[in-house]
Amino acid sequence: MLELLNFFEESTTTDTPNNGWWVYLILGLLLVGMILLMVIPQRKQKKRQEEMMSKLAIGSIVTTIGGIVGEVVQLDDNNIWLLTGLDENKTTMQFVRQAIHSIAPAPGSPEAEQQAKEEQEKENEVDEIK
């Protein structure tokens, strides 16, 4: 370990102008790598969020970030209204669009039927394995 420290000490004490260029190169590469590792996943997440919001429609079943599940009854540029609750105790709640965590397709829509088929196929695969 001391030899490694001595190497760095010796390399910093020499006065040649091209001595430490590789250190700057490595630091630059690390900086670029860190930026890429932060920016690329953030862009992917933003794209998924935009796609999800574009699928939002009246009749869709959504889950909020607080865990509330309801059916969309009204849409606005900034807000959505959800109908939630059981038979006689239905309540309409207003949420900001950013509070939506996930969207399930409206019942009876082609997306809902496709999702149901996929879930059925997965259950059949699990049953075959057992």
- Report the distance separating Cα 65 and Cα 63, nearest Å: 7
Q: What is the pLDDT along the chain (130 residues), one digit of tens a residue?
A: 556 556 555 555 555 555 678 888 899 999 999 999 999 999 998 998 888 888 888 888 899 999 999 999 999 889 999 999 888 889 999 999 889 998 887 667 777 788 788 888 888 887 777 6
> What secondary structure letter does DSSP report for 78?
S
> What secondary structure letter does DSSP report for 3?
H
**Residue from 69, 58, 49, 54 nearest 106 by CA:** 58
- Indicate yes or no: pTM above 0.75: no
Considering the four listed CATH numbers 1.20.1690, 3.40.50, 1.10.357, 2.30.30, the one that applies to the domain covering 57-129 is 2.30.30
Which tokens go with 2? 């001391």
- Report the distance separating Cα 118 and Cα 129, nearest Å: 17
Q: What is the structure's pLDDT at 112?
A: 75
